[in-house]
Amino acid sequence: MPLYEYRCEECGTKFEKVVNISSSDQPQECPICKEDSCHRLISTFATMGRSVTSQTASSCGSSGSRFT
């Protein structure tokens, strides 16, 4: 099951919760005020790593193509 981010409309609390995909758009209960007024937020996708520029790639014997 995926991890979703929610925000409570009553108290403003933001929290993450593992929820079945079919239930992800339904209001969730706030862990602080216990109201059922929490709605799913649009989360940003984050990655970790290092991008390689064409200068770095060419010094490694590459043909100068850009890797990201």
CATH of the domain at 24: 2.20.28
pLDDT of 32-59, one tens digit each? 999 998 999 986 665 566 656 555 555 5
Domain count, the chain: 1
pLDDT at 15 over 60: yes
What's the token pair of residue 8?
């409570």
pLDDT band, very low/low/confident/very high, at 27 (cuts 50, 70, 90): confident
Are 1 and 21 spatial neighbours (Cβ–Cβ below 8 Å)? Answer: yes
Q: Is residue 33 part of a domain?
A: yes
Q: Please state, in angstroms and rounded to a whole number, the distance separating the CA atoms of residues 4 and 39.
A: 10
Domain assignment of residue 4, given as a range: 1-43
Task: Specify if 29 maps to a domain.
Answer: yes
Residue 53 maps to a domain: no
Backbone angles phi, psi at 23, to 5 degrees: -105, 0
Q: Specify if 9 maps to a domain.
A: yes
> Which has the higher per-residue pLDDT, 61 or 5?
5
Section 1-8 average pLDDT: 90
